[in-house]
Amino acid sequence: MPEYLSPGVYVEETPSGNKPIEGVSTSTAGLVGVTERGPVDVPQLVTSFGEYTRTFGGALPIDEFTDGGRAHCYLPHAVEGFFVNGGKRAYITRVLPDEATPATRDMFFNDPGVASPGDTVLLRPAQQGSGTTAAPPLLYALDPANLALGDWVRIGDGGRAEYRRLIANPGAQARHVGFDVPLGAGHPAGTTIRALAVAASTDPSLAPPQFKLAEAVAAGATELLLDTGNVAGLAAALPPGTASAGWRLLELGATAVAEYVFATRAEAVGTTQVRVFLSRAVTFDYAAAAPATVIETTGGTDDTLALPANAGDTLAFLQTSPPPADFTNNAHVAIVAPGTDAQEAISIGALGSLPLTMPGPLAIPAGSLGHHVSVADDDRNVVAEITAHRVIQLDDVGHLAAGMTLTFTNGAATQDDLIDAVDPTAATVTLRNDLPWTPAGAVKLTPKHLTGPANAGSVSIALDDRLGLAASDVIRIGPDELATIRSVPGAGGPAPDPGVVLLTQPLTASHAGGLAGEPVRRQVTTVDTARQAVFTALASAPGSPGLLVSDITGFASGEVLQLDLPDGTRILQRLGGAPVPAAPREIEIDTPLAFSHPAGVPLVEREVLFEVRAIDAGSWGNRLQIAARDEPAGLVGNTAVLNANPPPGPGMFSSLQVASSTGAEPGSVLAMSNPDGSLVPGLLKVRAVDRTSRLVLLDAPGLTATHMAAVANAALLGQFVRVRSREFSLMVLLRRRPDPTTPSRDDNLLDQEIFRNLSMDPRHSRYVERMVGVTYTPGSDTDDRDEAVRRSDRRSEGASVYVRVRDPRSDTGSALDPFAIRLGPETLVDVLPSGLTRPARLPLSGGDDNVAGMDDAMYRGADSNEPAHRTGLFSLKNLLNVSLVSIPGQTAPLLQQSVIDHCEELRYRFAVLDGPPPPDDTLADVQDLRQQFDSHYAALYHPWLTIADPFPTSPALVRQFPVPPAGHVLGIMARVDNERGVHKAPANEVVRGIAGLTRYFTKGEQDIVNPYPVNINLIRDFRPNNRALRVWGARCITSDNEYKYVNVRRVLIFLEDSIDRGLQWVVFEPNAEPLWASVRRSATQFLTTVWRNGALEGTTPDQGFFVKCDRTTMTRDDIDNGRLVCVIGVAPVKPAEFVIIRIGLWTADADQ
């Protein structure tokens, strides 16, 4: 009772006594099954098929989701059928075997804490599926000296990069043999290869075995004309048809630079010459009279090829490790496939690297030809003075032109003079002015000068004088840079013809122009024919500091190498150091390669930065890709450093006072730059920020002497160094499912997400785990950082829809410092066919749905006292408003009985069951299945439906694909409930979104399965009557005739559930007449509304229902024991299943 203790006005609200009952929803479905992705064992509400695909993915290929003849791919089609047929709401529970695994990949970085990282390249191609002892061959690295057991390495670049772990230290020995000249043909593994010392043939019939070329030979020739030697003997030794075992090996040129070819037959040409036919074309040009010697081919050491050798290779790999001594002697010759038609001989080379003075300006393909050349300024010499002091004969007047300046000498005296005319025939120059004396000795060409700066990477230079320059000329710019002229545009202008010169390759260094312009001199190059030509063994990228060549014998620092590229480009490079012999070794990785990689791709040491894991298990995650890139602008954006403060004392920290501390926070990584934009070596880590004083405290070691010097130097110029923060972004990309009909679209993206300005420091507000989300174990109450998972989907908190990440340095017990400087994943780049670049997209792998583990127990799940731990079908117990339940496509009797048991236990749910799938879907098959059940909480529908195959093998031939009817029937029930009401039987309704049925039943067949107690609902084809395909049955699979109609059972479910919820307020109210009257009133009003909607029989409410709640429904014992008993009777309308029209003949005067 209210209290009135003091005078005043008391305003009170009084209950009206009217407690209306609201009707519950009857059209919300709960479906359980296998999906492409999505939360596992956690029902998720979807309100459209588009929302379903965003959460759970699309259709599942039946060939991938079938095991033991049982398919698990039907849920997506059922959900689509539900919404196409008018469904509005569905809860989807994804089920998956416990053994299913998520796709993962590790992201790596170049750890600045590793003092000597192992950076090298593959020396031989690595095939897909190789790299381990069980899947040979092992990888062959050029220089793995800094690699060891347990190291991670990256193989390849861009999107095809692979990361593997070494499971052993690199091998102790090389197992290759190098060649001076590329192989002319391919040879299979197991081919014999012989190495032997070079010695003239001892065959007496050929004595003497030394010959000479009777005429010059050009590269590519396949026959030679020899003389001087035993012509008759050689012709006799090589008659037409000589077997390969009898071919004779010829050494062309001097032994130090020789090329070796096999002569297959010989023909005498007169008595002094012999024409020799070769097994392959010669590689180099040879002058007449060059030596040609027959070489002995017996003896030496034999081995076999461990791997195939291809035409153009300069390396072969042997079975024996280390190779026998004969194979490591570069004075020996190797014969591949000796005694066979495929035999060829090549001199053995000493594989190694040639360091360059300047990085290479162009990409150098493997197989580029290199010659040692001498390079000198284009100076001339006086031959004679034709006219005193005016007309001078020189040793060469090529590339001289009127208007050029020459510098003449006479003892110590020098004199410059202009050329007035050049006579190429007489090799004379006429000077503009008389010389004061008779010249003698060297004549120098006055150097030209750059008129403007020439920047590194430029392919053009501007000169004050272009006289005497032409395409293919070699020039020296400054003291060291050599360049080849591609063209001289507009040459021939008035002397000195200033203008632009175009180069064949970009400049590798910048050069000053103007008054202090660097000199440019034309060079004379001479190929040293006494030195062995070499070939590049691997391709090198622009900017490479060296070249790997087939033979480093005889090269020295400062020498010049002339390279002729396969496309005809010629460049010159000066050696910047002594040659470095190669020390390649084999390495073994933990798992075979997923891609093939050519020789020359990077093989570099990296460290694990963080793990990326698909948010849910399943093979869908294998279509995810991850791309990383550095942020071009940091959260701290190039702010000026006003002061740099070293640590004030031991154990204290250095600091920076900055113009703006915006964006700086603990964990930020700062990079310092000089006023000109160049970087100051050494990154800095923020420890704390005082925004009042704009002071940034730095983690140890903090500021170094280099940083302090940069700040001081900038201050001397009245300028400031600047700092910016370094962050990275992470992109997650989901590709479409591969489609064999349109494979070109397999890389198309369904979705992508990007996370900007991420940090690898746990203190940072944008720490990668914090922004993307940390990994978790499905079924666990906490994630891998012991934080509670979300209740909505039982996943860890995080912004990503597709992935979670784990930083191993943040793991409990990690020995590595999580606060060390780590910029983010290494940023790899893919070059598109258009030439544009994009961050490399690295795929996740290892995702598996474990289809073999899918069984009834998985769908049924397990119950638990803890709702969050319920799985499978039992997870639907956590939902209050589900009224329709199905496991589409799964027709095992025990599993379907579980669905029935679920609905009977929860009382307010109705099960929709599928008939047996084709081909076992005959009338007898469906009757056998029906006989397993007896419940008025379920209905069975048959046959299966057909749709267009979602994964056709050919777009021109799209077959029909069978799908279960449950999803479509659920949609029809929902549609009928919303349009007519739950009292309308869900039959005589069109099935939308299908092409046909797997089996067409007739009226006669339905006469067998429709009547009580069989009660099987058929879907019939009425298209011949222009009435489409319709559900043609509305019976429950029950032997209780009172509840045989689906709508009757569902009306009672609707009434019971509505009254149950609507009368919850009654509990613990005083159990007396006022409460009984209120209950009667609420129930009567509700049932009256139901009657008015047509769900109950009768022309008056009294004919449709009654409600009693008084002392006639309760005894004294009921009241004393707290029981309120209300008795309600209803008369649900029944469907007009059999419409009978009786008609007969009658006459106008007949009695009616």
Residue with the bigger pLDDT between 1150 and 846: it is 846
Q: Which residue in 103, 44, 1152, 3 sits closest to 621, CA to CA?
A: 103
Q: Which residue in 53, 62, 52 sits closest to 91, CA to CA?
A: 52
Q: What is the mean pLDDT of the chain?
A: 93
Strands (E), 1033-1118: 1105-1108
Tens-place pLDDT, residues 463-508 = 999 988 999 899 999 888 889 999 999 888 888 889 999 998 888 8
Has residue 1107 got a pLDDT over 90? Answer: yes
Rounded distance, CA 29 to CA 25, Å?
10
| Reported confidence tier of residue 1, pLDDT bands at 50, 70, 90 | low
| Reported confidence tier of residue 438, pLDDT bands at 50, 70, 90 | confident
CB atoms within 10 A of CB 799: 10
Crossing angle of the two packed helices 75-84 and 49-56, in degrees rounded to 10: 160
Rounded distance, CA 765 to CA 767, Å?
6
Cβ(508)–Cβ(456) below 8 Å: yes
Range name among 300-309, 356-365, 839-848, 1092-1101 with the lowest pLDDT average:
356-365
pLDDT computed for residue 878 by the predictor: 96
Rounded distance, CA 678 to CA 685, Å?
19
pLDDT computed for residue 360 by the predictor: 79
pLDDT computed for residue 490 by the predictor: 87
Compute the average pLDDT of residues 320-328.
90
Tens-place pLDDT, residues 953-988 = 888 888 999 999 999 999 999 999 999 999 999 999
- Cα first-last separation, the chain: 72
Compute the average pLDDT of residues 27-46.
98
pLDDT computed for residue 16 by the predictor: 73
pLDDT computed for residue 241 by the predictor: 84
Tens-place pLDDT, residues 249-288 = 999 998 888 999 999 999 999 888 999 999 999 999 999 9
| Reported confidence tier of residue 198, pLDDT bands at 50, 70, 90 | very high
Rounded distance, CA 888 to CA 909, Å?
16
DSSP state string for 978-1031: HHT-TTS-S-SEE--S--EESS---HHHHHHHSSTTT-PEEEEE-GGGT--EEE
Radius of gyration of the chain from Cα atoms? 45
Please give the DSSP secondary-structure letter assigned to residue 53.
Answer: H
pLDDT computed for residue 647 by the predictor: 92
DSSP state string for 390-414: TEEEES--TT--TT-EEEEEETTEE
Please give the DSSP secondary-structure letter assigned to residue 764.
Answer: S
Rounded distance, CA 1057 to CA 881, Å?
10
| Reported confidence tier of residue 87, pLDDT bands at 50, 70, 90 | very high
Tens-place pLDDT, residues 303-319 = 999 999 999 999 999 99
Tens-place pLDDT, residues 730-780 = 999 999 998 887 888 888 999 999 999 999 999 999 999 999 999 999 999
Compute the average pLDDT of residues 600-616.
95
Write the secondary structure of 123-135 as one string of H (helix), E (strand) and C (coil). Answer: CCCECCCCCCCCC
Rounded distance, CA 404 to CA 467, Å?
7
Q: What is the SS3 assignment for 801?
A: coil
| Reported confidence tier of residue 515, pLDDT bands at 50, 70, 90 | low
Compute the average pLDDT of residues 422-427.
90
Q: Which residue in 728, 684, 749 sits closest to 827, CA to CA?
A: 728
pLDDT computed for residue 1152 by the predictor: 52
Compute the average pLDDT of residues 62-83.
96
Has residue 834 got a pLDDT over 60? Answer: yes
| Reported confidence tier of residue 116, pLDDT bands at 50, 70, 90 | low
Has residue 361 got a pLDDT over 90? Answer: no
